[in-house]
Amino acid sequence: MIEIVYKLRDNPNTIKISEDGAPIDFTSCTRMTMAFDGLDIVADTDVDSSLIDWSQGNGVIEFNINDLSITSDDRLDVLLVAYDQLHPDGQVLTHPSKRELQFKFVSA
């Protein structure tokens, strides 16, 4: 899936993650990180909690990454990782090798 990010705008991106057809329950999640493949940029909720929001429930994750300093016009694959008590080292939700989640940053 390709998500279009409008740089410097108020347009969050929202996805829904499921496993075996059921939405993932993120209620015990304490942190998420998202690393952009090929860039030295990581969105980390421990650094800025407004970047990734999983509080809506039903497997929904909202990204507020419009202000990140990303200048690439390419589609960027991401490594999205969720942390909780059962997964203190993180559980991979999406990986660049699978091209499951991509972001394209554009000026609007």
Closest-CA residue to 29 (of 95, 93, 85, 101): 85
Does the pLDDT of residue 60 top 90, yes or no? yes
* pTM higher than 0.85: yes
Q: Could you report the per-residue pLDDT of 3-12, keeping only the tens digit for each?
A: 999 999 999 9
Can you tell me the mean pLDDT for 66-87? 93
Give, as one character, the DSSP assignment of residue 97.
Answer: G
Please state, in angstroms and rounded to a whole number, the distance separating the CA atoms of residues 50 and 39.
Answer: 21
Q: Can you give the CATH number for the domain in which 54 is found?
A: 2.60.40.3350
Q: How far apart are CA 25 and CA 4, in angstroms?
A: 25
- CA-to-CA distance for 16 and 38, rounded, in angstroms? 24
Give the residue numbers spanning the domain of 25: 2-107
Domain count of the fold of the chain: 1
